């Protein structure tokens, strides 16, 4: 049966895969860039070839002959910050143009960069190839000169952040039209002030697939996401209600076991709820907290600094690589409660806990509610070494708070609060002016600006667009 495959589909003309050895690739580069095009006098090798992180992709014929190649890798020395660069695209003159080897290598390089977690992918191409790159979907940035010849800086548009926001948050504005959840001043917040009281209510549901395959973790997360919602508004938790659906008593016990462990760790009593057996997996929880003056998610203004405070401990939850970071299940109750009190202690102008929309998507929700835009300094974002930038900026990070305030506001608030608050300063904080948040690490990593959406700022000063406008369509929290 297998012999029919080549007859039906045709034998492959070439195969693209990572280079096992770069000898042939370097030889072909010399033949084209030095001997044929005379771009370089003796050699086109440079420091990117010496970087151990550089990837070389090769196109070879079925008999193993090298037809072309391309390299890609981090554009800067030091930690990989998600800025990658492609280059040294080369095709053997004997097969140039006939099999579209160059475009295939370009597509493969784009896929490899995104797979590696890149959020910016650039290439400097000879001017005569600009149109080809544009036809392949690349954006022209500006003219540059390389080796005395005209080139053009091109950029591959990576839409990972926008796609996540579209999938998780964009429909909300239409779906919730007329409900105004949260009430005046708190539209877009994850918690809602109960009118006429100091109570804050928050409610979250857990994905049924997660409840089915990882019930203990689902139970833990039902508490985690709700206490995060309360913490973002500076509220102290007072009680939790839950609703559980399970196929049998054993499955329900595992869900409730995780929920009870988390409730004990966070110090929030389970007040009651509902449990139903013999049904598909389902889990939701409602938390209540108290805050006399809740911190809004829409309190940001242009000129405010953006700060991320996150727990970088732990690692990826098994089965959720690149999507769910788990530090909280390994923390003591004291550590968890200290982190949960961060917003209440610092009283920023605006705060939001990072949700399934990721760090950038959540920042987009904060700016939407605040009626402005934001610039995020990618290299300044606190990040665990085990996570790529692409994964970290788009995952659910366990505990992470985005806060904004006027420059110096935290220091001024601390000074006016007396020695008790001053004693809580974190010696490990990456920037001054913040109260201790326990094992979490905080850093100023951007600012709010006029306009809308979120742009990423890179060490070379370049800005790339992550979100062009509001995330939810719910508008400002007037």
CB 243 within 8 A of CB 256: no
- Looking at residues 95-119, what average pLDDT do you find? 94
Looking at the chain, the whole-number percentage of residues with pLDDT higher than 90 is 81
Q: What is the model's pLDDT at position 435? A: 60
The least confident of 52-66, 161-175, 225-239, 435-449 is: 161-175
Q: What is the model's pLDDT at position 302? A: 97
Q: What is the model's pLDDT at position 431? A: 40
Distance between CA atoms of 250 and 384, rounded to whole angstroms? 36
pLDDT band at 410 (very low <50, low <70, confident <90, very high): low
Q: Which residue has the higher pLDDT, 470 or 255?
A: 255
Residue 425 reports pLDDT greater than 60: no
Q: What is the model's pLDDT at position 436? A: 63
For 35-49, how does the pLDDT look when each residue is reduced to its tens digit (9 = 90+)? 999 999 999 999 999
Closest CA to 357 of 326, 402, 318: 402
Question: How remote is the C-alpha of 7 from its chain's centroid?
Answer: 45
pLDDT band at 303 (very low <50, low <70, confident <90, very high): very high
pLDDT band at 427 (very low <50, low <70, confident <90, very high): very low
CB 396 within 8 A of CB 354: yes
The least confident of 87-91, 182-186, 226-230, 280-284 is: 182-186
Average pLDDT, the chain: 90
Domains of the chain: 14-158 (3.40.630.30), 190-294 (3.30.1330.10), 296-478 (3.90.650.10)
Task: Classify residue 311 as exposed, middle or buried by CB count within 10 Å of its CB (0-12, 13-18, 19+).
Answer: buried
Q: What is the model's pLDDT at position 72? A: 98
- Looking at residues 89-103, what average pLDDT do you find? 92
Q: What is the model's pLDDT at position 35? A: 96
For 136-190, how does the pLDDT look when each residue is reduced to its tens digit (9 = 90+)? 999 999 999 988 899 999 999 999 999 999 988 877 777 777 777 767 777 778 8
Q: What is the model's pLDDT at position 10? A: 54
Residue 213 reports pLDDT greater than 50: yes
- Looking at residues 385-397, what average pLDDT do you find? 96
Q: Which residue has the higher pLDDT, 419 or 196?
A: 196
Residue 97 reports pLDDT greater than 60: yes
- Looking at residues 55-66, what average pLDDT do you find? 96
Q: Indicate the pTM of the whole model.
A: 0.89
Q: What is the model's pLDDT at position 92? A: 96
For 109-138, how does the pLDDT look when each residue is reduced to its tens digit (9 = 90+)? 999 999 999 999 999 999 999 999 999 999
CB 359 within 8 A of CB 396: no
Looking at the chain, the whole-number percentage of residues with pLDDT higher than 70 is 91
Closest CA to 113 of 66, 67, 154, 167: 154
CB 117 within 8 A of CB 388: yes
Q: What is the model's pLDDT at position 4? A: 46
Q: Which residue has the higher pLDDT, 6 or 330?
A: 330
pLDDT band at 429 (very low <50, low <70, confident <90, very high): very low
CB 295 within 8 A of CB 347: yes
- Looking at residues 349-360, what average pLDDT do you find? 95
Q: What is the model's pLDDT at position 184? A: 73
Closest CA to 305 of 374, 393, 364, 354: 374
């Amino acid at each position: 049966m297998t012999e029919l495959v080549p007859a039906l589909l045709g034998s492959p003309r070439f195969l693209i895969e990572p280079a096992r050895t770069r000898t042939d690739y370097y030889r072909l580069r010399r033949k084209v860039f030095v001997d044929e095009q005379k771009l370089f006098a003796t050699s086109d090798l440079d420091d990117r070839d010496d970087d151990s992180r550089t990837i070389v992709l090769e196109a070879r014929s079925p008999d193993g002959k090298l037809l072309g190649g391309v390299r890609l890798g981090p554009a800067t020395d030091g930690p990989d910050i998600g800025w990658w660069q492609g280059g040294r695209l080369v095709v053997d003159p004997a097969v140039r143009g006939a099999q579209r080897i160059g475009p295939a290598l370009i597509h493969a390089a784009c896929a490899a960069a995104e797979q590696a977690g890149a959020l910016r992918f650039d290439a400097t191409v000879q001017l005569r190839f600009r149109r080809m790159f544009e036809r392949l979907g690349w954006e022209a940035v500006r003219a540059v000169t390389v080796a005395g010849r005209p080139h053009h800086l091109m950029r591959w548009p990576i839409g990972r952040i926008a796609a996540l926001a579209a999938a998780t948050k964009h429909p909300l504005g239409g779906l919730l039209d007329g409900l105004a959840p949260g009430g005046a001043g708190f539209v877009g917040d994850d918690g809602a002030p109960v009118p006429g009281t100091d109570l804050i209510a928050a409610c979250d549901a857990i994905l049924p697939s997660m409840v089915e395959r990882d019930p203990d973790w689902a139970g833990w997360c039902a508490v985690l996401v709700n206490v995060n919602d309360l913490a973002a508004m500076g509220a102290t938790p007072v009680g939790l209600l839950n609703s559980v659906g399970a196929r049998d008593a054993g499955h329900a016990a595992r869900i409730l076991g995780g929920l009870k462990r988390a409730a004990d760790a966070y110090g929030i009593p389970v007040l009651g709820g509902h449990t139903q057996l013999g049904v598909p997996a389902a889990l939701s929880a409602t938390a209540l907290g108290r805050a006399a003056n809740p911190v809004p998610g829409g309190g940001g203004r242009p000129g405010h600094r953006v700060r991320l405070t996150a727990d970088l401990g732990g690692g990826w939850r098994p089965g959720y690589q690149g999507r769910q970071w788990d530090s909280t299940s390994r923390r003591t109750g004291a550590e968890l409660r200290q982190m949960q009190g961060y917003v209440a202690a610092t009283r920023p102008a605006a705060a939001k806990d990072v949700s399934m929309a990721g760090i950038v998507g959540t920042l987009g929700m904060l700016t939407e509610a605040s009626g402005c835009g934001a610039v995020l300094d990618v290299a300044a974002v606190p990040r665990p070494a085990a996570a790529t930038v692409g994964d970290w900026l788009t995952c659910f990070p366990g505990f992470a708070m985005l806060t904004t305030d006027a420059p110096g506001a935290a220091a001024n608030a601390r000074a006016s609060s007396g020695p008790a608050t001053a004693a809580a300063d974190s010696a490990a904080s990456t920037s001054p002016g913040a109260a201790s948040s326990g094992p979490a690490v905080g850093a100023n990593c951007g600012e709010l600006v006029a306009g809308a959406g979120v742009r990423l700022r890179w060490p070379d000063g370049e800005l790339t667009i992550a979100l062009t406008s509001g995330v939810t369509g719910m508008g400002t929290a007037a």
